[in-house]
């Protein structure tokens, strides 16, 4: 049996020390197989973002192990984790996090730049990714010339341009109206079904969680529910 | 990756063009000032040494006074020479010519024209040791010198003032109530090392000067030309021995005259330039330090401002070293930009100044290369700390940064 794509095993994350200690994650076990689409829910402060940061190799557990494709991420160096992100992970954030005063095309090219891809191919693939999110005609626009929905689509293009194994989306629709949110979710679902990209997404809305195959609910840093989506 | 970092750097600098320019100003001014000063200094040295070399590299100048004495240079304080001293020096071996010289400021009159100038009593050897041609007319003969004939040879400036375009040869001019005949005109030499007009003089046979103008047998200085450049140290010693004996200086006492080799003057000028260059080097170091701190300051501001950008780059897979490279390259581009502008400014300013001061414009490629090398080094040195700060950021905190 091959190792699952993502495997959290008794993971805890503690911020601060002594009186100021916050146990953001407490003994979390979570397995996500390749091709899954998981919605992570839970009240504010329940540890969803903390969990996403660990899944995204941006942070490491205080205790417990996180295995990504069978490799123990906790044992990797900072640079090795950067390489994991570079080659296997894509991020979509609530606040879009695009480079300001930089065209949509160049924003999408950014992850390819760090892969050392030559300019011509980089451009071609970035344009293809923008086309996939329906923004080919906005390639030259800077983020401040785009609507929120369009900015989030650029961010999705940036996440998918490297053909990642997993896209991690922390409240990707948190800043968007419900119609635009549905469009973004359609897009994520399409990436999941057509390209087989595994998706983990934090959301507060049941309507958005309904796009996923599976819903994981957090409460006070623990997984309290893990079920098939309706 | 380096190329990409370069493009990013250029873009970041263009985005904050005014700020970037102000930041580089320290380096621009420092590099510019040093380039300008050194270039001008080289030009001035080239001119001075060129002039000294044109005097002939086997020229010795003998003046009364003590080189080591505080009171040296005060003419008249020391016993002057006499024509017999000059004759005795001329008897020594390896000597080509000796020109004794004595002079004073006078007013010369021709008809309605008159001008103030310097009258020099000397011998015909004067034009030989100085390598001075007499294109119009002639220099006085030895016989005329001995006879103390009232003859004179004009410098180009005096000729211009008194005669304009008229032919001066054969004319009689009055110098301090002595009337004398113009027999020649000296070749024009132009401005001297210290901006003095070398052509503003009148030559007269030394004996005529002594008897008719000065009423004294004093000789103020002597120009001596050795037979070869390699003979000058020997000639210098012989003259010193001879004059010590003639002037009755006891063993152990100091000379009361100086025999100066013009080659020494060249080396004095060159060592003075060396000191100047060292001083400029210190100024350069300080201004580069100040410029470097300016760059470090602005890079720290830039890193803080762009925290979120750094977070994004780290999230999409940039390693610390790639972020470091980006900011380091940006600092180096910034400081090199300062270097380029500084070199341009320095060369431009020194070119203009060289024309205005009438010194040659000496282009020193090594200096320019050095300026670039130092600018780049400043960028690396002062850019490293801010770049490392960027590279060590925690991606999560950086992404959350407002
Ligand atoms: N850098 C930090 N330092 C200290 N405590 C932190 C830090 N980040 C998160 N926490 C704490 O950890 C807990 C979980 O935070 P987390 O951001 O994971 O919540 P969340 O589920 O994403 O909430 P939300 O829905 O509001 O985004 C919170 O109590 C929070 O205060
Ligand atoms: Mg959160």
Residue list, ligand 1 pocket, CB within 6 Å: A 15-16, 22, 24, 42, 44-50
pLDDT at A108: 97
Q: How far apart are CA B284 and CA B379, in angstroms?
A: 15
A122, B66, B322 from A105: Cα distances, Å: 10, 82, 21
Task: Parse chain A into domains and list their residue ranges.
Answer: 35-62+78-228
Q: Ligand 2 centre from A56 Cα, in Å?
A: 14
pLDDT in tens, A69-90: 999 999 999 999 999 999 999 9
d(CA B64, CA B79): 7
Rounded to whole angstroms, the Cα distance separating B334 from B318 reads 23
Pick one of 3.40.50.720, 3.40.50.300, 3.40.718.10, 3.40.50.1980 as the CATH number of A35-62+78-228: 3.40.50.300
pLDDT at position B67? 61
ipTM above 0.90, yes or no: yes
Residue B10 buriedness (CB in 10 A; 0-12 / 13-18 / 19+) = middle
Reduced to 3 DSSP states, what percent helix, strand and coil does chain A have, rounded to the nearest 5? 40, 25, 35
Percent over 90 (pLDDT), chain B: 49
pLDDT band at B46 (very low <50, low <70, confident <90, very high): confident
- Give tens-digit pLDDT for A147-167: 999 999 999 999 999 999 999
Q: If you measure from the C-alpha of residue A10 to the centroid of ligand 2, how many angstroms do you get, rounded to a whole number?
A: 21
Q: How far is A10 from chain B (nearest CA, A)?
A: 22
- Parse chain B into domains and list their residue ranges: 2-51+267-400, 80-246
> Which among A79, A113, A115 is the nearest to B320, CB-wise?
A79
Tell me which DSSP letter residue B209 carries.
I
- What pLDDT is recorded for position A99? 94
The residue in chain A having the minimum alpha-carbon distance to the alpha carbon of residue B16 is A101
Report, as an integer, the average pLDDT of A194-213: 95
Residue of A46, A55, A222 to test ligand 1 pocket, by largest number of atoms within 8 Å of CB: A46
DSSP strand pairing (B178-185 vs B151-154): parallel
Please determine, for residue B47, whether its predicted confidence score (pLDDT) is greater than 90: no
pLDDT tens digits along B191-206: 766 667 888 999 999 9
- Taking residue A147's Cβ as centre, other Cβ atoms within 10 Å add up to 11
> Using CB atoms, which residue from A58, A111, A113 is nearest to B396?
A58
Q: Which of B334, B270, B367 is nearest to B33 (CA)?
A: B367
8 Å CB contact of B314 and A93: no
pTM for this structure? Answer: 0.76
Chain A contacts in chain B segment 277-336 (CB below 8 A): 308-309, 311-322
List, in sequence order, every beta strand (DSSP E) within B156-270.
172-175, 178-185, 201-205, 218-219, 221-226, 257-261
Asked if A91 reaches chain B (Cβ–Cβ under 8 Å), the answer is yes
Mean pLDDT rounded to a whole number for chain A: 94
pLDDT in tens, B275-318: 887 887 788 888 888 899 999 999 999 999 999 999 999 999 99
| Phi/psi-derived region of residue B291, left when phi > 0, alpha when psi is between -120 and 50, beta in every other case | alpha
């Amino acid at each position: 049996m091959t190792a699952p794509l993502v495997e959290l095993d008794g993971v805890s994350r503690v911020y601060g020390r002594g009186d100021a200690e916050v146990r953001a994650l407490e003994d979390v076990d979570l397995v996500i197989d390749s091709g899954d689409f998981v919605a992570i829910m839970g009240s504010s402060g329940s540890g969803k973002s903390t969990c996403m940061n660990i899944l995204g190799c941006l942070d490491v557990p205080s205790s417990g192990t996180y295995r990504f494709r069978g490799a123990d991420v906790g044992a990797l160096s900072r640079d090795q984790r950067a390489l994991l992100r570079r080659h296997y992970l894509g991020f979509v954030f609530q606040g879009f996090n695009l480079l300001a005063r930089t065209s949509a095309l160049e924003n999408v090219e950014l992850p390819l730049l760090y892969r050392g891809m030559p300019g011509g191919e980089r451009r071609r693939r970035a344009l293809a990714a923008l086309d996939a999110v329906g923004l080919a005609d906005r390639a030259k626009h800077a983020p401040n010339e785009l609507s929120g929905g369009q900015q989030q689509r650029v961010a999705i293009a940036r996440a998918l341009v490297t053909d990642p194994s997993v896209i991690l989306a922390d409240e990707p629709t948190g800043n968007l109206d419900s119609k635009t949110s549905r469009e973004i979710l359609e897009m994520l679902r399409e990436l999941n079904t057509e390209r087989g990209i595994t998706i983990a997404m934090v959301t507060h809305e049941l309507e958005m969680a309904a796009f996923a195959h599976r819903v994981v609910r957090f409460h006070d840093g623990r997984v309290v529910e893990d079920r098939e989506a309706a | 990756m380096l190329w990409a970092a370069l493009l990013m750097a250029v873009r970041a600098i263009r985005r904050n063009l005014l700020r970037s320019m102000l930041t580089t100003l320290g380096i621009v001014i420092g590099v510019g000032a040093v380039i300008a000063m050194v270039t001008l200094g080289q030009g001035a040295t080239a001119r001075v040494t060129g002039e000294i070399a044109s005097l002939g590299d086997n020229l010795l100048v003998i003046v009364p006074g003590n080189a080591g004495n505080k009171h040296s240079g005060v003419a008249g304080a020391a016993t002057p020479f006499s024509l017999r001293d000059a004759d005795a020096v001329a008897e020594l071996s390896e000597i080509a010519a000796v020109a004794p010289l004595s002079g004073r400021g006078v007013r010369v009159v021709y008809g309605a024209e008159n001008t103030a100038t310097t009258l020099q009593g000397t011998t015909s050897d004067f034009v030989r040791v100085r390598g001075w041609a007499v294109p119009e007319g002639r220099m006085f003969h030895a016989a005329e010198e001995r006879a103390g004939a009232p003859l004179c040879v004009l410098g180009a400036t005096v000729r211009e003032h008194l005669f304009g375009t008229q032919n001066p040869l054969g004319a009689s001019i009055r110098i301090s109530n002595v009337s004398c005949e113009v027999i020649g005109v000296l070749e024009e030499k132009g401005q001297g090392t210290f901006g003095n007009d070398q052509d503003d003089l009148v030559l007269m046979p030394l004996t005529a000067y002594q008897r008719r103008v000065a009423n004294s047998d004093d000789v103020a200085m002597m120009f001596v030309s050795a037979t070869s450049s390699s003979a000058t140290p020997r000639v210098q010693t012989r003259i010193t021995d001879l004059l010590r004996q003639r002037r009755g200086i006891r063993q152990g006492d100091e000379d009361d005259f100086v025999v100066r080799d013009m080659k020494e003057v060249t080396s004095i000028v060159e060592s003075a330039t060396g000191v100047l260059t060292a001083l400029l080097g210190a100024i350069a170091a300080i201004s580069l330090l100040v410029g470097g701190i300016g760059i470090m300051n602005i890079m720290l501001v830039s890193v803080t401002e762009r925290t979120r950008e750094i977070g994004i780059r780290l999230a999409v897979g940039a390693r610390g070293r790639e972020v470091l490279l980006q900011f380091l390259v940006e600092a180096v581009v910034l400081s090199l930009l300062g270097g380029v502008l500084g070199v341009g400014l320095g060369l431009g300013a020194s070119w203009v100044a060289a024309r205005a001061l009438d010194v040659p414009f000496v282009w020193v490629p090594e200096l320019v290369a050095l300026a670039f090398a130092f600018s780049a080094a400043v960028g690396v040195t002062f850019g490293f700390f801010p770049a490392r700060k960027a590279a060590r950021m925690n991606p999560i905190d950086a992404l959350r940064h407002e």
